[in-house]
Amino acid sequence: MTNKTLITGQLLTFHANPFSEAPQDAVRHERQGAILVEGGIIRATGPAEILRAAHPQARVADMGAALLLPGFVDAHAHYPQTEIIASWGKRLIDWLNTYTFPAEMEFGDPAHAARIAERYFDLTLSHGTTTVCSFATSHPGSVDAFFAEAQKRGLRAVTGKTCMDRNAPDGLMDTAQSAYDDSKALLERWHGVDRLEYAITPRFTPTSSRAQLHALGALWTEFPDCLMQTHLSEQIDEIAWVRDLHPQARDYLDTYEQADLLGPKAVFGHSIHLEPREIDRIAEAGAGLVHCPTSNTFIGSGLFDMGLARRLTVGLATDTGGGSSFSMLRTMAAAYEIGQLRGNPLHPAQLLWLATEGSARAMHMVDRIGTLEVGSEADIIALDLGSTPAIAQRAARADDIWEQVFPTIMMGDDRAIAGVWTGGNRC
C-alpha cells in the first residue's frame, strides 16, 4: 500500500516576502493544485492534473475548492491562560495580578497542567494552528505537560519555563539559580526530541532581576540553538516601570541586551512602542518581533507599526489569553483593522504570510514549517472559502482569489477549517 498522499484543492505558494514586493506578485495561485506528501514531508506541489498522472497510486484527499495553505503558526501564546481568555476590564499589570497569576498558580498540580494542555491543543488544532510557541508557568511540570501533549499529537511545538524572581506572587517566584537550573534540566530533557524545541523564557524585565536575566543569558550562551522568548514594550506604563527599575539602561531592549538576551534567535512579543535605537539593534541582531493584535486592542496596549515588516522579521500571534481568540483568522482580521487605524491596510497575501511564513521566520523555523516548499514538514490546512452563508455570498461576488479569501480572513472561524494535517497525518 502506498504511503503517498495527494491533497488537492486551490493552492497558494509564496515565492517572495509580500512586504518586500507587491503582495499579489509574491504569490502563485493554482486554481486546481495539489500537494504530494510522503513520510511526513512535502515532496511536490503543482497542478493537480500533473501530480495525479505522475503518482497514480497515491491516496487522494480531494478538498474541492478549499484553499490549501501551510498550517498556521502562532508565534506567541500563553497556554496556561486558556481558562481566563476573554476576562473583563484590565490593562497589562492589573491583568497579570487579577487573572494571570492566580490561574498560573494552579499549574503546580501536574494533573491540572495536563488537562489544560490537552484542551489547549484541541482548540488550536480546531482553528488550523499546527505550531505554537507558548510560555508555560514557573512550574517545571507545566513544561512537561505541554511537551507531552504536543509529542502525543506529533506536533512541532515550543515552550519554556516562565522565569520570575520578583514582582509576582510567592508561589510563582523562583530565583536566578533555580531559573537557570530548572530551565537547563528541561532543555536537556525536551529540546530536539521529536518535533519539540525549548525556548529560554524570562517573562519580562519587571519580573526578572538583573541576576536572573544574566543567569538566563548565560544559559542561552551555552545553548544558542534554542529560542529566547520574552515581552518587549507592550504598554506605556510598563515601559515607565522598566525605566524606574533600570535607570541605567538606555531603553527597554537594553535590559535584555546587557544580559546577553539579544541575538538572532530572540523572539520579542508585542514591541509596540519601540525607540529608534531599539529598532536598529533588533535589525542588526536579526531578532524577530511578534504582532499580537487581538491582545493589543483587548487590553489597550496600542497599535503595532506593521511598517517595521519592511525591515524586520515580523510574525503573528494570538497571545491567548490576553488575546481574545484562539483563531489565527480572527488574529489576521485584527491585524487588518489595526493597519487601517494606522493608515496601512494589509493585503490578504500579507496577512496569510504573517500567519504562516512570517511567524516561522520569526521563530527561525522556516526551513521546516510555515511554507509549502518541497522538503518542508507536511503541516497543511484546507480552508473552506464558503464556510458560512455570510462568507459564501460575499465570496461568490469575488473577481479574484484575494476577494475570495478576504471574507474568510475577516469573518471566518473554526468552521472554515476543512482539514488539518500535521506531519502528514490528518487530524
Residues 339 and 394 in one domain: no
Question: Per residue in 356-375, pLDDT tens?
Answer: 999 999 999 999 999 999 99
- Read off the C-alpha cell for 105: 498558580
Residues 417 and 356 in one domain: no
The pLDDT-based confidence of 89 (bands split at 50, 70, 90) is confident
Q: Looking at residue 93, what is its pLDDT?
A: 87
Q: Which residue has the cell 525536551?
A: 190
Question: Per residue in 221-235, pLDDT tens?
Answer: 999 999 999 999 999
Element (H, E) at 331: helix 328-341
Element (H, E) at 411: helix 401-411
Report the pLDDT averaged over residues 120-129.
Answer: 98
Whether 142 shows a pLDDT value over 90: the answer reads yes
d(CA 289, CA 358): 10
User: What residues does 27 pair with on adjacent strands?
Assistant: 14
Residues 203 and 263 in one domain: yes
Q: CA-CA distances (angstroms) from residue 224 to 76, 198, 220, 361?
A: 20, 11, 5, 17
Residues 174 and 189 in one domain: yes
- Which of 344, 362, 380 is a domain's end point? 362
Q: Looking at residue 247, what is its pLDDT?
A: 97
* Distance in angstroms between the alpha carbons of the first and the last residue of the chain: 21
The pLDDT-based confidence of 95 (bands split at 50, 70, 90) is confident
Report the pLDDT averaged over residues 215-221.
Answer: 98
Question: Per residue in 252-282, pLDDT tens?
Answer: 999 999 999 999 999 999 999 999 999 999 9
Report the pLDDT averaged over residues 107-120.
Answer: 98
Element (H, E) at 44: strand 41-47
Residues 93 and 218 in one domain: yes
- Which of 310, 345, 362 is a domain's end point? 362
Q: Looking at residue 426, what is its pLDDT?
A: 97
Residue positions counted in the chain: 427
Residues 191 and 318 in one domain: yes
Report the amino acid identity of residue 121. F
DSSP string over 107-141:
GGSHHHHHHHHHHHHHHHHHTTEEEEEEE--SSHH
Percent of the chain with pLDDT over 90: 98
Q: Mean pLDDT of all residues in the chain? A: 97
Residues 322 and 181 in one domain: yes
Whether 1 shows a pLDDT value over 70: the answer reads no
Closest CA to 157 of 227, 80, 262: 227
- Read off the C-alpha cell for 362: 520569526
- Which of 362, 392, 417 is a domain's end point? 362
- Tell me how many domains the chain contains: 2
Q: Looking at residue 313, what is its pLDDT?
A: 97
| Domain extent at residue 350 | 72-362
Q: Looking at residue 91, what is its pLDDT?
A: 87
Residue 419 CB neighbour total at 10 angstroms: 18
The pLDDT-based confidence of 80 (bands split at 50, 70, 90) is very high
What's the CATH code of the domain at 99? 3.20.20.140
Q: Looking at residue 209, what is its pLDDT?
A: 98
The pLDDT-based confidence of 377 (bands split at 50, 70, 90) is very high
Give the sign of the dihedral formed by CA 396, CA 400, CA 403, CA 405. positive
Residues 209 and 251 in one domain: yes
Our CA angle for 245, 317, 193, nearest 5°, is 95
d(CA 157, CA 120): 12
Report the pLDDT averaged over residues 385-404.
Answer: 97
Q: Looking at residue 213, what is its pLDDT?
A: 98
DSSP three-state, residue 261: coil
Whether 31 shows a pLDDT value over 80: the answer reads yes
Report the pLDDT averaged over residues 104-129.
Answer: 98
Question: Per residue in 286-345, pLDDT tens?
Answer: 999 999 999 999 999 999 999 999 999 999 999 999 999 999 999 999 999 999 999 999
Residues 12 and 135 in one domain: no
Residues 62 and 79 in one domain: no
Residues 270 and 203 in one domain: yes
Closest CA to 220 of 182, 272, 266: 266
Q: Looking at residue 235, what is its pLDDT?
A: 96
DSSP string over 362-407:
HTT-TTTSSS--TTSB--EEEE-TTSSHHHHHHHTT-SSHHHHHHH
The pLDDT-based confidence of 408 (bands split at 50, 70, 90) is very high
- Read off the C-alpha cell for 112: 491540572
Q: Looking at residue 320, what is its pLDDT?
A: 96
Q: Looking at residue 172, what is its pLDDT?
A: 97
Residues 17 and 130 in one domain: no
What's the CATH code of the domain at 22? 2.30.40.10
